[in-house]
Structure 1
């Protein structure tokens, strides 16, 4: 058996519901400050032109970004777990391909924020001793994520390395 783990494109897409989750998250990030700017523009008459200008910039940049990024992320984000390693590909303009050999994995975590819970999604974080930081797989079905954490825990326990 070859001990070298090669970087290759991961095979699995994230859950399709992740697009709606990301869209909702981006729209909230854009629209909440926009509402604040509108309220301030109504309340502070002397600053109204500047506040409306800021609102225009916020919406002009934020709305196209909120509509494009979720679809792009779904197209790019991939993940895969084999007996030897965890593979991820993430990014938007700058794409990052990562691989973590099972023997290097230190911890496996799952997280579900309130919005992720609403969409029945979860994120899995695989931590290694790498200076590049943990591998994150976002936008997984919450049941798949729980099974993935269990599988990774079992595999790393069976494949003990020094994890450094």
Structure 2
């Protein structure tokens, strides 16, 4: 049986805020480093076991694939990744191929963490992780400006602390 829509339906929409534009460059550098390491390891293994004769075109294809990945995926991720804090919840949208929207009520927040990886530090960025009492796991907002991440952690901590209950 299909139920008629409520008088005031809650529409799933994209969260309002984008991550920092510098996140694109951070993701590009990370992808470039990961791709270079992967190609290097594959070359070393191929040369060490002498199982495959490495030809120039194989290296060219691998480099082209990495450069394509570096050029496309960070732009795509930036277009999709969004976040928002409302009066009652934290909302995120992530992904680059498949999109995932997550909504965590403030009453369910257990911890709020801030982390900076080595590459993120170079670009003044941080990741905020909101752990909830959900089997789906934590919400992660990657690529935030460092100061904004600090403010967001303080705000979410204060708001979660103001909610009655123990977030379980």
- What TM-score, normalized by structure 1, do the two folds share? 0.85
1:147 paired with 2:151, answer: yes
Compared CA separation, residues 46 and 125, structure 1 to 2 (3 A): closer
**Is the 8 Å Cα contact of residues 7 and 98 (structure 1) preserved in structure 2?**
no
Q: Counterpart in 2 of 1:25?
A: 30
Alignment of 1:122-133 (within 5 A): 122-133=126-137
Structure 1 unaligned blocks of 5 or more: none
1:163 to 156, 164, 167: 167
2:19 to 2, 14, 36: 14
Aligned-pair CA distance for 1:92: 1.2
Runs ≥4 residues deviating over 6 A: none
Structure 2 unaligned blocks of 5 or more: 1-8
Three-state SS of the structure 1 residue aligned to 2:15 is coil
For this pair of structures, how many residues does the alignment match?
160
Aligned partners of 1:104, 1:7: CA distance in 2, in Å? 19
CA RMSD, aligned part only? 2.5
- What TM-score, normalized by structure 2, do the two folds share? 0.84
